Amino acid sequence: MHLGIRNERSDRESRVAATPASVASFVELGFTVSIEAGSGAAAGYPDAEYADSGATVVDDLASGEPVDLLIMVTPPTEPDRTVLASNGVIVGMIDPSSTKDMLTGWGNEGITSISIEMLPRTTLAQSMDALSSQATAAGYAAVLLGVTELPKFMPMLVTAAGTIPPANVLILGVGVAGLQAIATAKRLGAIVYAYDIRPETKEQVESLGGRFIEAATQEMDEGGYARAVDEETAAKQREALASAVADADLIITTAQVPGRQAPRLIDRSMVEAMRPGSLIIDMAASSGGNVEDSAPDEVVDVGGVTILGPTDLASRVATDASRMFARNVLELVKRMVADGSLVVDHEDPVVGPAIVAPISPSQESEPVT
């Protein structure tokens, strides 16, 4: 079994799909591992450490033997096809909504594509949950970005020059990223308020020391995600949040609905009511944005209020984000190794739902190498 680790293509991406520690585990599983030179450098993992763990460092995966398993952080591109064996497998954050046509074509040629972000949110798959691990990293990084960009202290300070009040931080969306943002902001001494449309999150917010904002709520769906709301509910939601938004020094929005445009939580009139110098970080900017006027990776000024839409937050803490992602991938691959072969089982309760292509649920399990 030949495993390939590529150098991520995006200029904003510093993460890597495997660490030296996970490479050592892959070798123990029976893989021959090749990694493109410099793949882990930006995350703090030099080529020498990969070599010491049993990997072969190459300039380009395409110049060597075909790869049976290719792992990645960012979505695949056409050049990735050239490194794969005829019945190869790719595993990673492959963004099936935008790559499905390409991957379906590859599936017709015998390539199996497994989207780690489509794994079921079950206890069985918990150790493989890359969405949660990377949201943890992103939520933490969002608060640190806020600290550096906000022209205020986060904690209350009692000084000879007077008492400086703590910052008011508002977190909208209390999933994994939101909970990590609450915890981080509290550790830094801010007063933290939070809201999520799911009433189940109130207890979680309060357990971290945050104050839950009473507004419209509804039950989550079977997958544990918030359901999309109608415009009437959304309007009531914004009305209830208006005063909290106006009082906030820093707002971090994280609300997203899988496969749909992000819900609009803050409109321009709410932004205009905020104090000049306030800051909004819209973590959903890449999927439509929770905040009117936010844009992916752009800085927008509305009446002195700054709106940021970073898409690379997890990458800003690449060392530990990579460590977690690598463990997620390793645990998933472990589930697919049997008797020294890589086996893709469409009926497996964890692997099956994450197979983007080829889709053939009745297909019998068989080795792909």
Marked catalytic residue, from 12, 121, 187, 268? 121
Q: Please indicate whether residue 341 is annotated as part of the active site.
A: no
Marked catalytic residue, from 211, 225, 286, 320? 225
3-state secondary structure the chain: CEEEECCCCCCCCCCCCCCHHHHHHHHHHCCEEEEECCCCHHHCCCHHHHHHCCCEEECCHHHCCCEEEEEECCCCCHHHHCCEEEEEEEEECCCHHHHHHHHHHHHHCCCEEEEHHHCCCCHHHHHHCHHHHHHHHHHHHHHHHHHHHCCCCCCCEEECCEEECCCEEEEECCCHHHHHHHHHHHHCCCEEEEECCCCCHHHHHHHCCCEECCCCCCCCCCCCCCCCCCHHHHHHHHHHHHHHHHHCCEEEECCCCCCCCCCCCECHHHHHCCCCCCEEEECCHHHCCCECCCCCCCEEEECCEEEECCCCCHHHHHHHHHHHHHHHHHHHHHHHEECCEEEECCCCCCCHHHEEECCCCCCCCEECC
Please give the span between the terminal C-alpha atoms of the chain, in angstroms, as a whole number. 7
- Spatial CA neighbour of 316 closest among 96, 147, 128: 147
Q: Please indicate whether residue 129 is annotated as part of the active site.
A: yes
- β-strands 305-308, 299-302: how paired? antiparallel
Marked catalytic residue, from 10, 126, 261, 360? 126
Q: Please indicate whether residue 95 is annotated as part of the active site.
A: no
Which neighbouring-strand residues pair with 342? Answer: 337
Specify whether the CB–CB gap between 120 and 165 falls below 8 A: no
Q: Cis peptide leading into 358, omega within 30 of 0?
A: yes
Single-letter amino acid, residue 360: S
Marked catalytic residue, from 9, 95, 132, 267? 132
Instruction: Indicate which residues carry an active-site annotation.
Output: 121, 126, 129, 132, 225
